[in-house]
Amino acid sequence: MPSPDRKRAVEPVTLTVVLTVVLALFFDFTNGFHDTANAMATPIATGALKPRVAVILAACLNLVGAFLSTEVAKTISGGIIHEDQLTPEAFPAIIFAGLVGAITWNMLTWLLGLPSSSSHALFGGLIGATLVGVGVYAIDFGVLLSKVVLPALVAPLTAGIIAFCATKVAYAVTRRYDGRPDGRSGFRWGQIVTSSLVALAHGTNDAQKTMGVITLAFIAVGWQQADHPEPMLWVILACALAIALGTYTGGWRIIRTLGKGLTDVKPAQGFSAETSTAATILASSAFGFALSTTQVASGSVIGSGLGRRGSRVQWSTVGRIVIGWLLTLPAAAIVGAIAAFFVVWWGLWGVLANAVLAAAIIAGVFRLSRRSRVHAGNALDTDTAPPAHRPDVSEVATSALAVKVPAAPHPTRRQREILLEKERLRMEAENLQIRAALAAERQERIKVELLALQEAEAREAEATARLDAERRAREADAERERVAKALKKAEKHAKRGKQ
């Protein structure tokens, strides 16, 4: 029969484990609404799915995906932290402190609309709490480097390259030169399939991280054997339901950033990005790599933006997201370490203080989020005022305004030739019109000059006629004078003859 001292020692551990499980499930819930955008931002942005339909579909597939594989859970529960280096009384409290760090970072980045990594927040919180509560020797840095850090560096780049190539191929296959519809809107149907694959892949990867944390706590207190790190069925079910419920609530702030803030997503781009994301996550889950689905999805969206001619990636938003990625591990680790100090100093009271602290952080962030609500109706509106005019909204959350992509891509070579020919014909028509106008002007000028000449000739003829008349009048006058003189002379001769 166990001694009373043993009972008193078990009760605090049991309470700590229960609180850890509750907080872990809430972290899983935040992971769900934090990462909904990974699968559903692009189909919502292109109109392939209505917002509510998209999150319901993602929630159902997250639930199914959580049952498909447990390799990632084994990585967390049997690799990163050496359970044998911690006492059963201390380890659940350390995990609890790590979860406080992860949830704090998740809630903060959700408020800012920043698609950061929930996975790295979890790892950072656990590492920070373990360093303070136990020491450096309790962390397996080899596993951390090979299955967390390296995949985090390689996966976004790989997903981006795959999405870039897939987008190029999609547009090359559907390109037409005869001006007829290219049928690219049909990619919206494909997006339903690919976004479903991403949601399924998210369930196979992210839900298992919480399973691994709970299993890690059970192994530490002896409730589960260390040589069997597979999560129990009820743990799988609870985590699956938590992440599905979180996904259903919809992380609309992050959906806004991924759907419009990085680049303007067209159906062919969304199809390519989601295909790349699903392939990368499913492959990593098969190998037990605990990578960030957020980083993979963001890399795919950026790659698809670079792959479409005429599209433009908003690199300032990309820079802020990358900075968030770089800060995730150390920021969560710092909060986890601070929470671990309370545990080290006050024991069970420290755990309760951390629980109050976590509740205060959650309530405070939720209250701040109510000041500028983002929901299914306005998540992808592009007429939102910029952050400079709306101090209550983060710049990343309204970054849809940062990208203005032309309505049509740059023309192909054949289209350019057609445009040049049309321009040449237009210029020739304009030249003919100018020449016709000049000819009409010249003809009018000639007509005016001809009229002026005719008037001048008429005036000259009139003057000539007048001069002739005057000359004839003078001649007539002279003739009359001569006749008169002759008559007078004749009269004189006649008078003389009579005399």
| Helix, strand, coil share of the chain (percent; to 5) | 80, 0, 20
DSSP letter string, 332-394: HHHHHHHHHHHHHHHTHHHHHHHHHHHHHHHHHHHHHHGGG---TTTTT-S-PPPTTT-TTS-
Q: Which of 289, 21, 307, 68 is nearest to 199 (CA)?
A: 68
Q: How far apart are CA 380 and CA 252, in angstroms?
A: 9
DSSP state letter for 409: P
Phi and psi of 139, rounded to 5°? -110, 130
Question: Which pLDDT does position 226 carry in this prediction?
Answer: 66
Among 103, 119, 93, which residue's Cα sits nearest to residue 20? 93
CB atoms within 10 A of CB 474: 10
Q: Which residues of 192-341 form beta strands (DSSP E)?
A: none
**Helix, strand or coil for residue 231?**
coil
Q: What is the DSSP letter of 399?
A: G
| Distances 118 to 34, 125, 219, 351 between C-alpha atoms, Å | 8, 11, 23, 22
Is residue 364 within 8 Å of 107, Cβ to Cβ? Answer: no
pLDDT of residue 433: 92
Task: Give me the residues paired with residue 223 across strands.
Answer: none
Q: Give me the DSSP letters along 132-194.
A: HHT-GGGB-HHHHIIIIIHHHHHHHHHHHHHHHHHHHHHHHHH--SSSS---GGGHHHHHHHH
Q: What is the largest CA-CA distance in the chain?
A: 206
**How distant is the alpha carbon of residue 290 from its chain centre?**
25
Read off the tokens for 492: 């004189």
pLDDT single digits (tens) 276-305: 877 777 777 666 666 677 778 788 888 888
- By C-alpha distance, which of 28, 54, 22 is closest to 250? 54
Hey, where are the domains in the chain? Answer: 4-402, 414-499
Residue whose C-alpha is closest to residue 486's, from 474, 494, 497 = 494
Contact indicator for 254, 112 with CB cutoff of 8 Å: no
Contact 321, 397 (CB under 8 A): no
Q: Which residue's structure tokens are 């049991």? A: 14
Identity of the residue numbered 404: K
Predicted local distance difference test score (pLDDT) of residue 383? 42
> What are the CA-CA distances from residue 290 to residues 198, 240, 264, 481 (Å)?
15, 17, 29, 140
Distance separating alpha carbons of residues 410 and 246, to the nearest angstrom:
41
* pTM for this prediction: 0.64
Q: Report the SS3 class of residue 47.
A: coil
If we measure between CA atoms, which residue out of 290, 305, 338 comes closest to residue 117? 290
Q: Which residues, other chains included, contact 317 with Cβ-Cβ below 8 Å and sequence gap of 6+?
A: 257, 261, 262, 396, 399, 402
The full DSSP string for 428-476 is: HHHHHHHHHHHHHHHHHHHHHHHHHHHHHHHHHHHHHHHHHHHHHHHHH
Task: For residue 76, give every residue at least 6 positions away whose Cβ sits within 8 Å of its Cβ, in sequence order, or none.
Answer: 208, 209, 212, 213, 215, 216, 290
Please provide residue 81's backbone torsions phi and psi, each rounded to the nearest 5 degrees: -115, 135
Q: What is the mean pLDDT of the chain?
A: 76
Q: Which residues of the chain have pLDDT under 50?
A: 1-10, 73, 77, 178, 182, 382-407
List all residues 6 or more positions away from 452 whose beta carbon is below 8 Å from its beta carbon: none
Quick one: three-class SS letters along 306-320?
HHCCCCCCCHHHHHH
In whole angstroms, give the CA distance from residue 305 to residue 172: 15
Q: Which amino acid is at 487?
A: L
